[in-house]
Every structure is written in C-alpha cells, then in structure tokens.
Amino acid sequence: MTMSAAVLAGCVSSAAIVPQPRAQQQPAVRGPAGSVTVPIGQPVRSAMPRPAGPVDPGFRRAPAGLNDRLYALWRAFPGKTGIAVQRIDGEWALSQRGDELFPQQSVSKLWVTLSVLDAVDQGRLTMDQRVRIGPEDLTLFHQPLAARVRAEGSVTMSVRDLIETAITHSDNTANDSLLRTVGGPNAVRAFIAKKDLGSIRFGPGERLLQSGTAGLTWQQSYSVGRNFETARNALSPAARQTAMNNYLANPVDGASPAAIAGALTRLARGTLLSPASTEYLQGVLSRTKSGPKRLKAGLPPGWQFMHKTGTGQNLGGMTAGYNDIGIATAPDGTRYAIVVMMGSTTAGIPARMALMQSVSSAVAEFHGR
C-alpha cells in the first residue's frame, strides 16, 4: 500500500483550479447498536480565503518527502494503524489507511461536546444549565468525578464544567452526563449526519461500549470499585477474545482517520460551530491533560497543540484503540490536523508514543519546505 495524497476543497492538481460538481448525498448507513456512518461525498470548495500575495507552495500541495516519511513510519509499526495529516490553512491531506474504521474510545468525547455546543448555539441548552449526577449515573474506568458523587451522594455541575472535565480529564461520567443532557447517542449521531462529517460512528455510551467489548452485559454495580474488572476476569478467555474480535472487526464507535482530520479542519476553520463556541472548544482542547507524551511531545518549542486522546481495553498484551487526534499550530500560525489511531497493536506503550511523536515531528520538520 502507498500513502494516499488528496487535495481538498477547491482541489488543485496544477496551477489551474478546476471546478468540481457537487456529488449527490449518499444515505447514512446504520451499523451495530444504532451507530451511523455517513459516506463522504465529492469535496466542495471551502469558504476559506486564499492567502494574499504569492501563494505559499505548501498551501496547495504537501511538502516533498512528507508523504514518504509518514508511509515509512506507518509501515514499520506493528498492528493496524491509521495516520492522517491535513493542512487546515491549505488544500492537501495525506493519509495511510485513512478511510478505514478504527476504534475511537475517548476520542468520541469530542463529538459529544460538539453536539452539546451546537445545541447551545441553537438555544436548546445553556452553558450554565445545571446537571445532577447521582450514583445511578456513574460509569467505569477513568471517572475522577465518581469519588465526589460517592462522598456527597450526588453532584450538580454546569454544562460548562462538565465539558471541561470530560475533555481535559477524559472523565467518563462527565462525558456520559453530557451525552444524557444533549439527548443521548441518537442526538450525537444526528449532529454527525447533519454536519456531514463522514465516516464517523458514535456508539451507545461508555457503559454499554465497554461492557460489550469485554463480553459482558452492563450492570450498574460494575461502576463500583473493581466490580467490572472482577466480572470481566470471570469470563472464559474464549468469550473475552470473541467479544474483542467482534468489536475490532466492526467497531461500534469506529471512525476513519481522514474523516476525523476533516472534522478537526472544519472546527478550526469555524464552520462547525458559532465563533464563540469554536473559540471556547479550542481553548478546552488546549488544556487536555491526557497523552502528554503522544503527539504533543513530538512538536518542537514554539508549536501549540490542542487534542483529545483515546485508549481502549487490553487483552493479552493487545490494546483495542490507542489514539491521539489534534490541531498543531506552527509559530507562523499555520495549522495542521494530525490523527494517529492504533486499532490493535501489541507494541509496548513507549513504542506507541514514539510513533505518534515521530508523526508530529515529521509534520513540524517538513513545515515550510
């Protein structure tokens, strides 16, 4: 396989700009547990203004050598991996396995927050709206909020504080509380379809996603202590492997790296949300605490990075979903959407982080060439 190189909205393959007809919208495809995949149609010219004066060569096409560097990194890494890089202030994208579905895990928190902010923009929710969270709302795995709920009996938080907690701390209970507030999984799927974000699925929520991946049926008692891990460990190895294989073969929360890069590009360009919500969300993403040694660590001093990570369950040394997606900004203000997704890999965590660092480092190295 070779790295695919695509020119984007208002695509150009030479000095001339060739108008592209708009393709007829294809219907959304329903997947497992009601997930939705919207096929990507013909690219449409973006409203992004062209740079004044002489056009930067990097605006129209990727720097020579970046394609080969990313391909070499992808090929050398064990497991199923997807890479996508898109110049936000330009017309090109590169990807490897860019159109295949990869488990998102906590990357999907971004779509919940986008859906919530879209509802705020439409006046259906407010940032100060209060949301109660009780023991019946707790989830599993990473949920620092759970300690407060158990200590106080219940906690009431604003939508604004829930977004901050869900994104910057990747708190599963905060995220599922936002999901419940915005209208559940179908509301997020409707947002994805309305905005035509492409091959991005949204699953059934954290509790059903993780229990199904493990081969369990969710019980609220799993939210307490290590009850979930105990129940999972009681399953036969064959049952766990079957459930994991089914998830990886057709991830209910699957998304393609290219579609995610496109969505990040549209977010940065301000075409998904109102200007106020766009600025707010980018500020939240810049405060993400998770994954400091993933993509962010590969960028040199002077670069800025806003991102969201995602990490799945482990089975026999294999992790189902190890991801980082974000927007990198060079010192001169040029922006890139960078996506690295590992669908399944037995490589150690240091090797996974090293690959991500190498990808973002390559983008920085070839910037301006």
Q: pLDDT tens for residues 225-238?
A: 999 999 999 999 99
345 or 245: which leads in pLDDT: 245
Contact in structure between 130 and 154 (CB atoms under 8 Å): no
Residue 14 has pLDDT above 60, yes or no: no
DSSP state of 220: G
Assigned CATH topology for domain 30-38+58-366: Beta-lactamase (3.40.710)
Please give the DSSP secondary-structure letter assigned to residue 251: -
pLDDT of residue 7: 36
Element housing 326 (H / E): strand 322-329
The amino acid that residue 365 corresponds to is: E
Share of the chain above pLDDT 70, in %: 85
Phi first, then psi: give them for residue 254, nearest 5 degrees: -70, 150
In sequence order, the β-bridge partners of residue 156 are: 132
- Say if residues 107 and 288 touch (Cβ distance below 8 Å): no
Q: Specify the higher pLDDT residue, 15 or 71.
A: 71
At a CB cut-off of 8 Å and minimum separation 6, what does 189 contact?
Answer: 34, 35, 36, 202
Q: What average pLDDT does range 264-287 have in this prediction?
A: 98
* SS3 annotation, 136-173: HHCCCCCCCHHHHHHHHCCEEEEHHHHHHHHHHCCCHH
Show Cβ contacts of residue 343 under 8 Å, excluding neighbours closer than 6 positions. Answer: 79, 80, 81, 82, 100, 102, 103, 248, 251, 320, 321
Banded model confidence at residue 33, pLDDT cuts 50, 70, 90: very low
The number of beta carbons lying within 10 Å of the beta carbon of residue 314 is: 11
Q: Is 96 helix (H, G, I), strand (E, B) or coil?
A: strand
Distance CA(203)–CA(211), nearest Å, equals 12
CB contact at 8 A, 193 and 36: yes
**The pLDDT of residue 32 is above 90:** no
**Average pLDDT across the chain, whole number:** 88
d(CA 85, CA 360): 9
CA–CA distance, 185 with 113 (Å, rounded to integer):
12
Q: Does residue 368 register a pLDDT over 90?
A: no
Instruction: Establish how many alpha carbons lie within 13 A of residue 66's alpha carbon, considering only the half-sphere containing its beta carbon.
Output: 27
pLDDT at residue 359 tops 80 = yes
pLDDT digits (tens, 9 = 90+) for 110-156: 999 999 999 999 999 999 999 999 999 999 999 999 999 999 999 99
Hey, what amino acid is at 110? L
Q: Where are the domains of the chain?
A: 30-38+58-366
Q: What is the pLDDT of residue 54?
A: 58
Which residues in 13-36 are b (16+ Cβ under 10 Å) and which e?
eeeeeeeeeeeeeeeeeebbbebb
Which residues fall within 8 angstroms of residue 198, CB to CB, at 6 or more apart? 38, 39, 40, 256, 258, 259, 262, 263
pLDDT band at residue 22 under the 50/70/90 scheme: very low
pLDDT digits (tens, 9 = 90+) for 36-72: 333 333 333 334 455 555 557 678 899 999 999 999 9
**CA gap 119, 113 in Å, rounded:** 10
Q: How far is CA 86 from the centre of its chain?
A: 14
Q: Is pLDDT at 325 greater than 80 in this prediction?
A: yes
Q: Which of 176, 166, 177 is nearest to 207 (CA)?
A: 176
CB 13 within 8 A of CB 52: no
pLDDT at position 35: 38
Planar angle of CA 119, 36, 5, nearest 5 degrees: 100
How many Cβ atoms from other residues are within 10 Å of residue 326's Cβ?
A: 27
Distance CA 219, CA 76 (A): 41
Type of residue numbered 358 = S
Maximum Cα–Cα distance across the chain: 66
